[in-house]
Structure 1
């Protein structure tokens, strides 16, 4: 009889644990793309924090397609998520997805890139304007006040590209630097290489390049190496590959973000809000220049 009672208790305990696991609250994180080391690191930070806090985290990749982004957000709303974290493909296009969540009273937080509409609980990101200015100031320090520079822009319409460019132009206008050209390479390495190749031919006297992310910067490095020219390149993000390239002397510097911390803070902030806590509209994540001097 004692063995039977023990068995019944074990079954009941197992059932309770199973129900508890099934009842675990869900969050979703929708990325603009996971074909980028920066966002893969952000995903890791979010997943580790969600596990620690007891949330089931649904991860979706929009593949840089605003239509897929909207479809991903629709999918999360039917999967019973309590909050949606979103890294927008485009600051304008994401508004429809955010408003969909707003109508269903699902809180939304944006990561790294902001949104130009809809109701957002909190935006967690580095100060891209400050980072762009840091890149420009570093180029002045390395090349001089009259440096001839090229800018490789990110995806047009994203807050990250707009703000990094704005900060860089603050540095340009505050010095005697000459901006020879500024063109989008879509935050992609291959595009960074091809765009840089064309810009080098049109601007053979360029001395420095600022790329809005490390992927484009690494592409630019390939084009510069193939040309045989000596041009310093400054990236943005501080990805593992970017930092390694700095250590190898390929990149001159990268303005380092902390993508794992952005992901972690996103989940922590969403959890705090869901539990009734007050959260800030904007949570800045510190930046630093990693360089070989």
Structure 2
């Protein structure tokens, strides 16, 4: 295993494979699944027998959705496998948190869980989703990698009767979203406050964007507008997207930036990028306590850095583990014919102290208990059941 400059070993691929396979699921990267179609059953929508049903284009324009109410009446149950699939695209820690939470909920509700990691390879991601569909699934959990390539498969799953539970991209029966401009603006404003109060209004700023994901362009805009409040002394010397959504991607990008801008002292972006950048700073002997690094996602490694009181000052966390647990619960409800929310809206929580981190981590470790008060972290909107799957969300909510 390769050691990074902080002495932490990067996770061995074998460990990822171990995490990627639920006991008895029989799925690992590159291992073919048995031939069993997601739409096995009749060829028409015939109630519990399952079957593919054309669902049209779904809801293509933004809707005003009513608050979701738990305990709604159950309808037709889909006659499809009680199996939930997670099409993971990266080994970033927050994605692995989601994996563990989905697995926990699936086990509690008697569902089989399968997953695979595409390592930011769009072609592999599509191949893995195809494999899930061929084997047969009752729910597909998915996050964006190549939305254009993923969308036809997501719609196929919906037509076959499966719940599609997505992170920020349509088409889906339930879409987890955040106000990306608001999240980015909060990150930018917090950095501007530090620049003004601690750096005398002068800073060399690096921002790592993820503009290949369309909805995150609003986060980008929010960060830049938040930074403007620090005044002209906050100079953005680099605004780029690293080659991969990994710590190694952030490490390589930061190494290149340091060659031209060795006096960088503020770095913003996702936690995965920023942790890689911190490693690059340490390797170059340039990591200093008065720097300001902040990420988004609430990565466990980022939170550990914040506790140290060094350069890493904050992470804006989403309740990813709770979202994963919700996906497992909603998959089971869907298979019981019960309604699930069309939109799960969550806000980022600024974690900039040990006290804030302690509360957040306790809640994320006890997701089954936290689920009883999910409204603390999510606002759930709309309602959809298997028999109403033609009302799937087909816009970025």
Same fold (TM over 0.5): yes
Root mean square deviation of aligned Cα: 2.5
Residue 292 of structure 2: which of 232, 235, 250 is its match?
232
**Consecutive aligned runs of 4 or more in structure 1 exceeding 6 Å deviation:** none
**Partner Cα distance (2:235, 2:335) in 1:** 49
Task: Report whether the alignment pairs 1:138 with 2:199.
Answer: no
Structure having the larger proportion of residues in strand:
1
| Equivalent residue runs for 1:32-47 within 5 Å | 32-33=89-90, 35-47=91-103
SS in 2 for 1:92: helix
Measure how far apart 1:169 and its partner are: 2.3
Larger displacement relative to structure 2 (181-190 or 222-231): 222-231
**Partner Cα distance (1:272, 1:158) in 2:** 30
Measure how far apart 1:142 and its partner are: 1.0
- Structure of higher CA gyration radius: 1
Residue 287 (structure 1) aligns with: 348
**Partner Cα distance (1:32, 1:166) in 2:** 25
SS in 2 for 1:238: coil
Task: Report whether the alignment pairs 1:244 with 2:304.
Answer: yes
| Equivalent residue runs for 1:71-150 within 5 Å | 71-111=127-167, 114-115=168-169, 117=170, 119-144=171-196, 147-150=203-206
Q: Choose between structure 1 and 2 for higher RCO, CA contacts under 8 A separated by at least 6 residues.
A: 2
Are 1:133 and 1:169, in contact at CA under 8 Å, matched by a contact in 2? Answer: yes
Q: 1:89 to 1:52 in 2, by over 3 A?
A: same
Residue 263 (structure 1) aligns with: 324
Measure how far apart 1:292 and its partner are: 4.7
Are 1:140 and 1:147, in contact at CA under 8 Å, matched by a contact in 2? Answer: no
Residue correspondences, number = 264
Are 1:122 and 1:280, in contact at CA under 8 Å, matched by a contact in 2? Answer: yes
Q: 1:229 to 1:263 in 2, by over 3 A?
A: closer
After superposition, the C-alpha distances for 1:147-173 in whole angstroms (9 at most, x for unaligned) are 44210123x422564343232123134
Q: 1:37 to 1:160 in 2, by over 3 A?
A: farther
After superposition, the C-alpha distances for 1:210-239 in whole angstroms (9 at most, x for unaligned) are 022x22111111222314264321111111
Larger displacement relative to structure 2 (216-225 or 94-103): 94-103
Measure how far apart 1:126 and its partner are: 4.2
Structure having the larger proportion of residues in helix:
1
**Partner Cα distance (1:172, 1:181) in 2:** 13
Are 2:93 and 2:299, in contact at CA under 8 Å, matched by a contact in 1? Answer: yes
Measure how far apart 1:281 and its partner are: 2.6
SS in 2 for 1:64: coil
After superposition, the C-alpha distances for 1:90-113 in whole angstroms (9 at most, x for unaligned) are 3333223213324434331103xx
Residue 221 (structure 2) aligns with: 166
Residue 188 (structure 1) aligns with: 246
Residue 206 (structure 1) aligns with: 264
**Partner Cα distance (1:292, 1:26) in 2:** 40
